[in-house]
Amino acid sequence: MMSEGMFSNYFLPGIWITIQVTFFSAALALVVAFVIGTLRTSRLWIVRFLSGIYFELFRGTSSLVLMFWLVFAVPLMFRLQFVPMFAGVLALGLTYGAYGSEVVRGALAAVPVAQREAGVALGFTKFQRLRRIEVPQAWPEMVPPFNNLLIELLKGTALVSTIMVADMTYAANLVRIGSNESAPVYTLLLALYFVFAFVLTRGMRVLEKHAKSRVGQAPPGGGGLWSRLSLRSSAGEGSGALTAGGTTR
């Protein structure tokens, strides 16, 4: 069996790197999803067209190829060198951001038109409408598909081990080479990913419940970003517009 030193020397640092990669790429993906997703609902065809190209481009390629391209091709092409960790986060964030943009687009499309018109009638700018009316209403619709995407992203982080980022998969490979004991190493690794995914799913489910429970409540005074986001949200019963986002991973 694996000695305990192997776990604390290799796996523990690896777990920490996996958490970091997951966190940063999820944050990047969320930003990309909102930017591209809202741009894709724009009235200007050129904006819709360009953001659509972004979506198709990143949905169509493999994040592994993108990672290798960033790490090995970009330095040769543009004399620009990425730290592997940064390249990994960038590749995952841009790819899963593209999937997420479909979720955002679908959820925004499911907000009743009259809500937007009401915003226009109040003289809100496009940004104010998004921030105060459309996103808060679409948010509960976005949380469940985002949850799925987060799990996919977590599994995707295993790819960074191939570009020399010392995440837990990389650590497992090192231990396997060092100890020549593959069965316990990879079984532990699979178990670790499963536990991570399980914890994430449960955490997101709490968020989901929170998002739904705020439906129709009067806005409390003040409140942080979270409460502002979930204010006055009207949750539909799993809108059909979202199934597209769910299937086009």
Residues that bind another protein (CB under 8 A): 56-57, 59-66, 68-69, 72-74, 76-78, 151, 154-159, 161-162, 169, 172-173, 176, 182-183, 186-187, 189-190, 193-194, 197-198, 201, 247-249
- Closer of 187 and 217 to another protein (Cβ): 187
- Closer of 155 and 209 to another protein (Cβ): 155
Minimum distance of another protein from residue 53's CB (angstroms): 10
Q: What angle do CA 26, 73, 102 make, to 5 degrees?
A: 35
3-state SS, the chain, equals: CCCHHHHHHHHHHHHHHHHHHHHHHHHHHHHHHHHHHHHCCCCCHHHHHHHHHHHHHHHHCCHHHHHHHHHHHHHHHHCCCCCHHHHHHHHHHHHHHHHHHHHHHHHHHCCCHHHHHHHHHCCCCHHHHHHHHHHHHHHHHHHHHHHHHHHHHHHHHHHHHHHCCCCHHHHHHHHHHHHCCHHHHHHHHHHHHHHHHHHHHHHHHHHHHHHHHCCCCCCCCCCCHHHHHHCCCCCCCCCHHHHHHHHCC
- Closer of 5 and 60 to another protein (Cβ): 60
- Closer of 134 and 167 to another protein (Cβ): 167
- Closer of 32 and 130 to another protein (Cβ): 32
Minimum distance of another protein from residue 190's CB (angstroms): 5
Minimum distance of another protein from residue 134's CB (angstroms): 26
Q: Are 82 and 215 a contacting pair, CB within 8 Å?
A: no
- Closer of 19 and 229 to another protein (Cβ): 19
Minimum distance of another protein from residue 68's CB (angstroms): 6
Minimum distance of another protein from residue 212's CB (angstroms): 22
Minimum distance of another protein from residue 67's CB (angstroms): 10
